[in-house]
Structures are given as structure tokens and as C-alpha cells.
Amino acid sequence: MKIHVLYCRKSMEQWSFVKMWWVGLVAGLVVSLPVRAWAWDEATFFSQKRLIAHSFVLPRSPHDARAQTVIGSPREYVVQPKDTLLDIARYFDLGYNEIIGAHPGVDPWIPAAGESLMIPTFWIIPQSGYEGVVVNIPEMRLYYFPPLQKGISNRLVITLPVGLGREDWPTPRAKFKIRGKTPNPVWIIPESIKKERIQEKGWSENMIPAGSPDNPMGKYRIDLTLPLYAIHDTNNPWAVGRLVTHGCIRLYPEDIEQFFDVIRVGSSGEFVYQPVKIGMLYGKVYVEVHEDIYRLIPDLWQEAQRVVRESDWREMVDQARLAKAVREKSGVPIDVTKGSPASNPGEVAIIEEKSGVPVGVTKGSPASSREGEVAIIELR
């Protein structure tokens, strides 16, 4: 399975707006100023998406300003006639929660054509062991930290949006391992779910066959050592970024198809609950605050204080900016560094992508649209 690892090689002098950004092996500056979509269907677009691995650098010591734990970069998209926010989210590999959180006042079904939207394709990596699979529940996003590759010094991470368990069937905090991989899975319906289906809809099946449009497993299932839980495909792509499952992790069909090849049996994994994350990018401190979707955190402000206090950068944090980020819960990285100029989410680094197509997703070609800025590596 080939993964696109993106490197920005342009001179920072060409981008006066983003002079503070690190130039070098910063995989993840995958960006595009106003792009134009084509037909929203499986054959002409969604099947051509490629997994992208972002580079990151962990702090080597307390107050290490060289750390780079904010990955990706915001983009801009001009809404076209007949677009929906759901299509746009999938176009940029975001969940429904992420696109709605970034644009709460926009009609998800009929956004205004010609309107320019900031696309929040940037994230702070969650605190973890930085190995295997990490699903941050409040964020509804999966992070995969592949093993270090020979000849590649940078740490890499792949991140994908997911759908998670309903409030009455929450995805649990837990550690696990990848037990196996099953293509074209049959869904053997657990008794607890079967009982619910009988009560609510009168459906009494014991199983749903592989290939059935009613099979929520779709074409791929990644089996976990956690009983009754799996990472799998979906028969409803619009479930990604929503709390709709019985606890399992759903991915977009095009994401699970590629991730299925990349993930190794025996890999470690963890479901974590981090509504507040803190990270560093080129000497600036960012926080990312999400809704407490299962209402497990009694006081989100106190949680933010704890996260900052336990970080390496607490002396650099502006408390007023932190309080604003906690109030807004925008779900995007916010600069909270003392003395930084005020900015809005998405203003930190929107860089022009001249091709008009997201890097790694070129119409009619699996290759990237930016010559000289993509390295292809094997993660298998």
C-alpha cells in the first residue's frame, strides 16, 4: 500500500503570510486555495482519494520550541452549486462534526454557492504512546502511527475521521490490539443489538450476509481484541463524524479500503478521551477544544488547566486566549501563545495550491498534483 508523504519545499519568502511556519520535512502542509469539485460520486472522485501521512516532531525536552505536534494546514474552498457540507467534508476527509463545527451557521444541505469556507484540515496529535491506532473519542478521529521506516527519520501519522457509538452505546475508553482483518464480513448480530432491532423495527435476523446493502460492516472489518468492537467500513458514509453506532468505529469506504492494507495484525491500539489537546508548531502553543460528547468531564475549563499544567509549555500560554478557546469549542487548533498577534481560526497558514485540486487527490490520476513535493513510501 503506497502512502503519500508530503513535503513543502517552497521558500518561505514566497509566502509572507506564513513566514513562521517550518520549512523542511513538514509532511502535512497539504493545502489548497479555492478548489473546484467535480461530480460527487464513488467512481470519479471518492475512490481516488489517497491516504496521506503527516510528519511530526515530539518535544525532546521541557519547553522544546522545536516540537511540531500540529499537523496539516487549513484550506479554503469555494462552494459550488449543488454542494452540501456532507460532500465537502468527505471531499477533504473530514467528519460531519468537523465541517459543522467550523461553520455552525451554514445550512449543511444548501450552503450558498460562491461562499468561501475555511476547511479545518489541521489537528493537534493526541497524547499517547504514538504507536499503532489511537482514536480520540470527543474528536471523532483516528490516528495511526506506523512503525518507523528504514531510511525515514521523521515520525509519521495518518489521520482519518470516524463515526462512533451513540450516547446510549458509547465507544469505551480502552486499550486493545489488532486481532485480525476480515474482507467482505458477515455481520453476526449480537443478542443485545438483535433485541433492540426487534423492539424498534421488528427485525429478527441473526445475521446480515456479506455484500448486503443492509450490512453496516461494508466490505472491510478490522477485528480487535476488545469483544464486540471493531473498526470497519460503513453502508452509510454520512455516519462518519456522528454518534450513530453501537460502539464500533466506522470509516469512509475509501479510507477503510486503504487503511485495511496498511494496518498490521498485532498492532497496538487505544480509545482515548481527550476533549482538550495541546501542541506546538514552530515555537507557538496551540490548543484544540472539542465538545464533551459523552459528558464525562465535569468541568472543561479545569480539564484545560490540567492539560496545560501537565504540558511542557504552560508558561507560554495566555490564559485569556485559553478561556476563549474553551468557551468556543471550535474543534480546531487555536494559537494561545502569550504575545501572539490575534487571528481567527484558519488564518495561520492557508497556502495556495495552484492546481485547484487537493494534493494526493488529482482528478484522473492517483499521483499528487504538485511535482517535486511528494515522496511515496511503503507502509507495509
Catalytic residues: 232, 248
Contact criterion met (CB below 8 Å) for 95 and 244: no
Alpha-carbon distance of 3 to 199, in angstroms, equals 45
* CB-count exposure of residue 150 (10 Å: 0-12, 13-18, 19+): exposed
3-class DSSP state of 170: coil
Cβ neighbours of residue 13 closer than 8 Å, sequence gap 6 or more: 19
Question: Which triple of cell numbers denotes residue 93?
Answer: 476527509
3-class DSSP state of 337: strand
Contact criterion met (CB below 8 Å) for 223 and 179: yes
- Cell 443492509 belongs to residue: 214
Residue 308 Cα to chain centre, angstroms: 22
Helix (H) or strand (E) holding 144: strand 141-145
- Cell 468505529 belongs to residue: 249
Contact criterion met (CB below 8 Å) for 127 and 274: yes
